[in-house]
Amino acid sequence: MILSTLAITEVNCAPFQDQRPGTAGLRKKVSVFRQPHYLECFVQAIFDTLKLPQGARLVIGGDGRYHNTEAIQTIIRIAAANGLREVVVGQHGLLSTPAASLVIRKYGAAAGFILTASHNPGGPDGDFGLKFNSPTGGQATEQVTEAVFRASQQLTGYRIADLPPVDLARTGHTRLGELAIQVIDPAADYTALMQQLFDFDAIRDWLKSGHRVRFDAMHAVTGLYARRILVDLLGCPPDSILHGESLPDFGGLHPDPNPIDAAGLVAESMRADSADLLAASDGDGDRNMILGPEFFLSPGDSVAMMLASLQQIPGYRSGVPGVARSMPTSRALDVVAARLGIPCYETPTGWRFFCNLLEAGLIGLCGEESFGTSSAHVREKDGLWAVLFWINLLAARRCSLKDIASQHWRTYGRHHYQRWDYYTADTARANELVAALRSALPGLRGRQYGDVRIESADDFHYRDPVDGSESAHQGIRLVLGNGSRIVYRLSGTGTTGATLRVYLERHVHDEASINSSGSEILAPLGNLAAELARIHEFIGANAPTGMI
């Protein structure tokens, strides 16, 4: 169907009061996004804020969760009504978050819309989300997301074009009047980039010699990428991919690659016939979990070991100018960076804080404790990239994942690390807990608890070294004199209630402590953290609701 002109309708409606984006866009229940005018108003607020030039190009794609394709059709119609004239969209409406970042950069798009609630559950009763990325492929800055929220509060309506549904099942070009639409293979550009970064021939040889990989796509978007790369190009058997079919409800799974929600994969790693590397990614493909036979690799250790091993990966043999980690993440990366003589930046939680550093060329590798790792190849965290990095490293080193970790710890010491989560439905009490702890900080400095002294206590304040922007109240840090650290932070990724995340870390060097379990080393620290924050008093919890 060819339209000579676009018919545009002005729809009047009242603004919604709950459209403040969080650390990675706006996340709400599907039922909230399906309210009349809700999605339309939020998208209009984005366009009103970004003020994209007439005729600009837009990239759209998502993780395939429930309401994904319907939302894409709506966004295309609003984009057309707001003067955009080119839309690039993934086939079937699919693009993993890292692939979308790559496509935005490659196609020179003015912006990108990624439809995802990341690792949150899907389905009609699950979560939905929408985030918007800049021309760099990175997440919108905090200043921009706040401006969008302000715009959402001032809306009196939105503009929408009268267009027929776009056929997302077929790749190719379509024109609807003044609007040009290109439906692309969602995995093609990403696959080509991975072939440039990693030694696929060495990986094939490693696999042919009897080594095996097991990847859990969790019925999310990375299934199609894993089939294309692991099976079609590298020669893994098809059954190397677990839960490979992308489903709108993720098959009832919670698509979060961690030892709790991917317990089946953890159980596989404990079997006598375990694969050499087991891995999982999340709903939109930006997180990763790495396992070996009877071994779990923590995200903080993973990025530190990546930095120590860059010379063995073709795309990274020239090294990196610097690295970065989010503040709650283990300081294992700092130790390796110091040995290499490169800077290690400490940022607030949220991938957007890495983007300025990447764009300025200050860093080339970054990671966060919530199973996110990436490099300068895109401006988002990248789950499958991390998996391929570790496969390539195993192929180069010709030893087990556990052996690589053991050798690393003997060189740099080991940062035992855990995250204790305390969920409460009472968000107000959680906020009161943090406020009380914040006010107690001056009195905590220098206090002695048994044989441990609190050396410093602060509320992390970040000043961006690139643009000078400031972000306050990014997490409470307690540094102890025995190489330990406690961090408190309220999570910003859920849609209901609140989760107090308590991060526990202790750096050890002696062999006995290195070989001890994290639970054994960190239990006293966790008890002290609960006591200092008066967790039971504020939210009634006697123990964490989850430990990772």
* 263 φ/ψ angles, rounded to the nearest 5 degrees: -60, -30
CATH superfamily of the domain spanning 8-186? Alpha-D-Glucose-1,6-Bisphosphate, subunit A, domain 3 (3.40.120.10)
pLDDT for 141: 87
What average pLDDT does the segment 35-55 reach?
96
Query: Where does 189-412 sit in CATH, by number?
Result: 3.40.120.10
Token pair, residue 11, equals: 């729809």
CB 427: neighbour CB atoms within 10 A? Answer: 14
Long-range contacts of 7-12 (CB under 8 A, 24+ apart): 7/161, 7/162, 8/80, 8/81, 8/159, 8/160, 8/161, 8/162, 9/81, 9/159, 9/160, 9/161, 9/162, 10/157, 10/158, 10/159, 11/37, 11/40, 11/157, 11/158, 11/159, 11/160, 12/156, 12/157
Percent of the chain with pLDDT strictly greater than 90 = 92
Q: What's the N-to-C CA distance of the chain in angstroms?
A: 53
Q: Pick the catalytic residue: 101, 118, 134, 484?
A: 118
Hey, which CATH number is domain 414-547, 3.30.565.10, 3.10.129.10, 3.30.310.50, 3.10.20.600? 3.30.310.50
- 237-260 residue pLDDT tens: 999 999 999 999 999 999 999 999
Kindly state the average pLDDT of the residues 85-110. 97
Q: Are 300 and 329 in contact (CB under 8 A)?
A: yes
Half-sphere exposure of 434 (CA within 13 A, CB side): 22
* pLDDT > 80? residue 496: no
Domain 8-186 matches domain 189-412 at the CATH topology level: yes
Mean pLDDT, rounded, for 196-215: 98
**Distance, CA of 496 to CA of 119 (rounded, Å):** 15
Q: Is residue 231 a contact partner of residue 238, using CB atoms and an 8 Å limit?
A: yes
Handedness of CA 96, 98, 99, 104 (dihedral sign): positive
Lowest mean pLDDT among 18-32, 252-266, 350-364, 485-499: 485-499
For position 8, what pLDDT does the model report? 94
Structure confidence at residue 151 (pLDDT) = 98
Q: Is 299 within 8 Å of 373 (Cβ atoms)?
A: yes
pLDDT of residue 396: 98
What number is the average pLDDT over the span 133-143? 92
Taking residues 42-67, report their average pLDDT. 96
Produce one character per residue of 291-315: b if its CB has 16 or more CB atoms within 10 Å, e if not.
bbbebbbbbbbbbbbbbbbbebbeb
493: pLDDT strictly greater than 80: no
In the predicted model, what is the mean pLDDT of residues 116-145?
94
pLDDT tens, position by position, 378-390: 999 999 999 999 9
What is the pLDDT confidence band of residue 2, given thresholds at 50, 70 and 90?
Answer: very low
| Known catalytic membership, residue 318 | no
pLDDT in tens, 315-329: 999 999 999 999 999
Of the candidates 44, 38, 18, the residue with the CA atom closest to the CA atom of residue 155: 44
Q: Specify which residues 518 forms β-bridges with.
A: none
Identify the residue with better confidence: 317 or 546: 317
Q: Please state the length of the chain.
A: 548
pLDDT at 492 exceeding the cut of 80? no
pLDDT at position 494 is: 54
What are the tens digits of pLDDT across the range 438-461?
Answer: 999 999 999 998 888 999 999 999
pLDDT at position 1: 42
What is the per-residue pLDDT for 495?
Answer: 56
Query: 424 near 497, Cβ under 8 Å?
Result: yes
Strand order in the sheet with 476-480: 448-449, 452-459, 476-480, 484-490, 498-508, 414-424, 546-547
The strand ranges marked E within 384-522 are 414-424, 448-449, 452-459, 462-463, 470-471, 476-480, 484-490, 498-508
Q: Report the mean per-residue pLDDT for the chain.
A: 95
Domain boundaries in the chain?
8-186, 189-412, 414-547
User: How confident is the model over 80-89, as a mean pLDDT?
Assistant: 96
